[in-house]
Amino acid sequence: MAIQPIRLFGDPVLRRPALEVVDFDKELRTLVADLTETMLEAPGAGLAAPQIGVGLRVFTWHVDGEVGHLVNPDLTLSEEVQDGDEGCLSLPGLTYDCRRALSVVARGWDMHGEPLVVEGSELLARAIQHETDHLDGVLFIDRLDTAARKAAMKEIRESEWFGLERPQVKVSPHATRGLGL
């Protein structure tokens, strides 16, 4: 287990759709451990593999004292919606009101390849939707209305971290699996 650098807005890995996990092995368990440790250290309510530079469909969450993870998620969203503050570890310091489904049923697998169903509402539903978006190359600012998105982009450009050199991380075995490398 190791705390990994979190990739910031502007890093291309955050905009690439992640690949399905096909091997439920020790490397995947290490990735889940790294995601969990990094998320808890940050601290955050969730963290997706692309945020640490790994293009695989895996995320972790920490909501209401519960820590969990999901591999290859497939979501069913409620029609009822919620509005609420949302932020992102890849966009430090930004918080904007974002509309999400009020509840979610997420189906996928755990790190051992066992089927997993996670049902949640409010903050857990928001976290699961946010992290699944990361796996699709979508950031929460993409879901804001035009005025809020424009304000967020202005805030990003004026932030202390924007334009800083991205962390140089050695390529992990997680990052190359499934890419033919």
Please tell me which residue in 131, 155, 160, 165 is annotated as part of the active site: 131
The alpha carbons of the chain give a radius of gyration, in whole angstroms, of 16
Residue 119 annotated to the active site:
no
10 Å Cβ neighbour count for 3?
13
Looking at the DSSP assignment, which residues form a beta bridge with residue 81? 101
The Cα–Cα gap between 156 and 138 comes to 16
Q: Is 141 helix (H, G, I), strand (E, B) or coil?
A: helix
10 Å Cβ neighbour count for 158?
8
Q: Which residues are catalytic?
A: 131
